[in-house]
Chain A
């Protein structure tokens, strides 16, 4: 095409643009987008995906960190399931903790959020007070609770003493160490609470007004409106809770490393799964075995999460789904 006098200016420009084949705007923007997030992508590939693949490879080998991995095979996984009592012991402790701590945290978080969703004086203050503990560092919290649990001078046994109850040894007692940690987990209930609170505030008041007109009392409104509409939030907190409890480590490490019997003591009563994993990786120098433990943990958490998600169709209410029915 030659530009003649009879060719409009815009047509000529369109032709030239097509001739030089510039990138479509959407594709160009995509490229810029990838460029801008490239630091994150590179970091994710190098520091997350890469180590995950490496740990998967190591999980099939004898690897002590110092020497290259050897003896590739399934021996780590076979030993783990058939010849390692501590694996089952640590899994049992973690599961026990999860079975008790997760529901407690769900209930307490929900209850707190429900209370703080009422019109009470100093609402902002109370919300802040209950949320602050959940943003504190795990080590600091562990040290603080170490003092609270002190059988002689701790505030907990002092409080029990007011009712004539002689408090136990808590962390130094094999029978009370896990209950103490469960109690401690309630400290960070504010994290779930703030999510519940956001959920509660998104429930339209018209539902309650309609229910009141129909004569529903407070309990009925709670169980027929609040709980169903909050079920997606409960589901989210449940999944996050499962993941968190199966990765429980810092508090146990800090609180038990000075006890007789070492980390996971006394008498292996706090040998949580991740504590055992850590010991294998950095105390026993069995990084291959620790990697196998890590992948088994990943699968367990994945299965539990899928199970919960699968079950959610029976108990989680999504407003949009109902509309589609």
Chain B
């Protein structure tokens, strides 16, 4: 009996202790405000970036008494569930950083408008690239100040081009001969079967391909229609009518299909799942002559180098003359649920200082959005990869799809995103050879999502 009573006393004591500690305020009145920065909407969650960001936090905390910062990391795969759970649990972080256009769109209503802060502090934006500012100006608010942009360029393997004695793709924009049609022609010459025949040869065996001329676009499908004169949104300007089976979407999807199953210059997703296992980009294999990708692929540059000498060229013009370098961008966003938005803005300003911006872009692989920092970015990477002409990235900024962007908000954002990606996967995997039918299905699905959205948001 004594033992039971002791147990009872112990249980009650522990319960009381837990209640007491749970109800005790964590900070005193003069304690510094802690700003939690959520990292997971894009770059920043790999081990190297996490270590670098934690170092930055230590530096900030050592030099600031009123505000302390702490990074909270999430993988990309878990970012929506983790972030929404934090919001639901009244544990909203104070900043989301870095965050791209997609992350902004996923939680569009959550972010506050920073334009009052910009106005109050007369924040100087004159040094920023115009399109990078344009990316963050939405109809009803401005979200963040641009940290950096990730324009797309054509990567090519010089060794493979040299071996095939095929001229390199042009580096300069404005070369009207560098079109998607020309790119496919070049890719045919670079695609080889196991007998060494290229895809332009009548003896070419498409079932025994050992080297592909083109690795495709590394971006989502919404990066494609802009190249074919279409609108990346894939719908009318009022977001009420889907336009998935017309214009750039249909033409772009047909181009994608033909590149795999007609000209055989691009591997299918089944080929990608087999030949290129363990690689983020097929280009890393040394078996792909060209592909188009964003500058955030910089983390894989060492693997590109292992695959051979590589360089970058301009993106080709589409069949209607559109030269579009799909772009991703990073900024910060302040959640509406943040308990310390003013302090969050101060931290964001500190992170956006030129020297810090340069340093952060060095971590994430972005081109700083400040024009004055561009040459430093080029010099820094050129020192590491002297063979590569990094100025092409800078030149691509003028051709980026700033507005609308390939990640711009649309109603029912993630559903439509998944729908377009699924449609692309039907083509890439060979699940369907009827492009028109795939796009008709997509059209019906997206239209359904638009109707659903507007029924809930009259």
Among A110-118, A192-200, A210-218, A282-290, the stretch that binds chain B is A282-290
A259 pairs with B273, CB closer than 8 A: yes
Q: Which of A55-73 contact B (CB under 8 A)?
A: 62, 64-66, 71
- A191 at interface (Cβ–Cβ under 8 A)? no
**B80 to A172, Cβ gap below 8 A?**
no
Nearest-neighbor residue (CB-CB) of B78 within chain A: A282
Given contacts A65-B84, A169-B270, contact A261 B277 (CB under 8 A): no
| B-contacting 9-mer, from A7-15, A149-157, A292-300 | A149-157
Taking each of B80, B337, B448, which has the highest tally of chain A beta carbons within 10 Å of its own beta carbon?
Answer: B80
Alpha-carbon distance A152/B87, docked complex (angstroms): 44
B85 touches A65 (CB 8 A): yes
Are A151 and B415 in touch, CB under 8 angstroms? no
Contact with B along A260-285 (1 / 0, CB 8 A): 11100111110000000001011111
Q: Across the interface, name the chain A residue whose C-beta is closest to B107.
A: A66
**Least CB distance, B288 to chain A, in whole angstroms:** 15
Q: Assuming the A-B contacts A66-B84, A260-B421, A267-B422, are A171 and B273 also in contact, with contact meaning beta carbons closer than 8 angstroms in the complex?
A: yes
Q: Are B269 and A172 in contact (CB under 8 A)?
A: yes
Contact B4 A32 (CB under 8 A): yes
When the two chains form their complex, are residues A260 and B428 in contact, meaning their CB atoms are under 8 A apart?
yes
Are B429 and A266 closer than 8 Å at their CB atoms? yes
Is B418 interfacial (CB 8 A cutoff)?
yes
Q: When chains A and B are docked, how far (Å) is the Cα of A286 from the Cα of B424?
A: 24
**Shortest CB–CB separation between residue A110 and chain B, in angstroms?**
35
A96 interfacial by beta-carbon distance below 8 Å: no
Query: CB of B431 within 8 A of chain A?
Result: yes
* CA of A175 to CA of B88, assembled, Å: 39
Instruction: Give the nearest-CB partner of B273 in chain A.
Output: A172
- Chain B residues within an 8 Å CB radius of A261: 418, 421-422, 424-426, 429
CA distance A83 to B107 in the complex (A): 25
Contact across chains for A262 and B421 when beta carbons are under 8 A apart:
yes
Are B274 and A150 touching (Cβ within 8 A)? yes
Determine whether A138 belongs to the interface, using a CB cutoff of 8 Å to chain B.
no
A223 to B17, CA, bound (A): 62
The answer to whether A268 and B422 have CB atoms under 8 Å apart is yes
How distant is the Cα of A71 from the Cα of B455 in the complex, in angstroms?
A: 12
Q: Report if A35 contacts B (CB, 8 A).
A: yes
B412 is an interface residue with CB less than 8 A from chain A: yes
Instruction: Given A65-B88, A66-B110, A266-B269, verify A260-B274 contact (CB < 8 Å).
Output: no
Q: Number of B interface residues, CB 8 Å?
A: 36
B52 at the interface (CB under 8 A from A): no
- The reply to whether A65 and B429 contact each other, CB–CB distance below 8 Å, is no
What chain B residues lie within 8 Å of A35 (beta carbons)? 8, 11
Contact string, B402-443, partner A, CB cutoff 8 A, digits 1/0? 000000000010110010011011101111100000000000
Question: B401: shortest Cβ distance to chain A, in Å?
Answer: 21
User: Is A257 part of the contact surface with B, judged by Cβ < 8 Å?
Assistant: yes
B425: nearest chain-A partner, CB-CB: A261
Chain B residues within 8 Å of A232, by CB: none
Is there a chain A Cβ closer than 8 Å to B306's Cβ? no
Contact A172 B418, CB 8 Å, known A35-B8, A65-B85, A282-B81: no
Does B429 contact A260, Cβ atoms closer than 8 Å? yes
Rounded to whole Å, the gap between the CB of A109 and the closest CB of chain B is 31
Chain A contacts for B431, CB-based, 8 A: 174-175, 266-267, 269
When distances are taken between beta carbons in the complex, the residues of chain A under 8 Å from B418 are 261-262, 279, 283
Q: Which residues of B contact A173 (CB under 8 A)?
A: 270, 429-430
B77 interface contact, C-beta 8 A: yes
Measured CB to CB, the closest approach of chain B to A85, in angstroms, equals: 8
Q: Mark B37-57, 1 if CB is under 8 A from A, else 0.
A: 000000000000000000000
A185 to B425, CA, bound (A): 25
CA distance A261 to B272 in the complex (A): 13
Residues of A within 8 A of B415 (CB): 284
The 0/1 profile, CB within 8 Å of B marked 1, for residues 131-157 of chain A is 000000000000000000011110000
Closest A-chain residue to B109, C-beta based? A66
Chain A residues, CB < 8 A from B432: 267
* CB <8 Å contact, B87 and A66: yes
Cβ contacts under 8 Å, B77 to chain A: 257
Among B84, B337, B456, which residue has its beta carbon within 8 angstroms of that of A282? Answer: B84
B414 touches A265 (CB 8 A): no
Q: Is the CB of A172 within 8 A of B270?
A: yes
Given A35-B8, A172-B272, A284:B412 Cβ within 8 A:
yes
Question: Using Cβ atoms and an 8 Å threshold, which residues of chain B touch A260?
Answer: 269, 272, 421, 424-425, 428-429
A259 near B425: Cβ-Cβ < 8 Å: yes
Query: Which positions 167-186 of chain A face chain B at CB distance < 8 Å?
Result: 169-175
Among B11, B88, B277, B425, contact of A267 (Cβ-Cβ < 8 Å): B425
Q: Residues 224-246 of chain B: 1 if any A CB is under 8 Å from the residue's CB, otherwise 0? A: 00000000000000000000000
Q: In the complex, which residues of chain B have a beta carbon less than 8 angstroms from the beta carbon of A62? A: 456
Q: Which of B84, B269, B272, B430 contacts A285 (CB 8 A)?
A: B84
For residue A40, give the distance in angstroms from its CB to the closest CB of chain B.
Answer: 13
Shortest C-beta distance, A284 to chain B (Å), equals 5
Q: Is B275 an interface residue (CB 8 A)?
A: yes
CA distance A171 to B429 in the complex (A): 11
In the bound complex, how far is the Cα of B89 from the Cα of A66, in angstroms?
9
* A267/B429 contact (C-beta < 8 A), A172-B274, A279-B418, A283-B414 known: yes
Within the complex, what minimum Cβ distance (angstroms) separates B334 from chain A?
15
- Is there contact, CB below 8 Å, between A282 and B428? no
Measured between beta carbons, the chain A residues less than 8 angstroms from B80 are 282-283, 285
Q: Knowing A260-B428, A260-B429, A282-B80 touch, does A152 contact B275 (C-beta < 8 A)?
A: yes
Chain B residues with CB under 8 Å of A175's CB are: 431
List 17 A–B pairs whose Cβ atoms lie within 8 Å, in order of A's numbering: A65-B88, A66-B87, A150-B273, A151-B270, A153-B277, A175-B431, A257-B77, A260-B272, A260-B421, A261-B424, A265-B425, A266-B428, A267-B422, A267-B431, A269-B431, A284-B414, A285-B84
Question: Could you list 19 further interchain pairs (A-B, Cβ under 8 angstroms) beyond the known A265-B422, A266-B425?
Answer: A64-B84, A66-B107, A66-B110, A150-B274, A150-B277, A174-B431, A257-B77, A260-B424, A260-B428, A262-B418, A265-B421, A266-B426, A266-B428, A267-B425, A267-B432, A279-B414, A284-B412, A284-B415, A285-B80
Closest 5 CB pairs of A and B: A261-B425, A172-B273, A151-B274, A282-B81, A169-B270
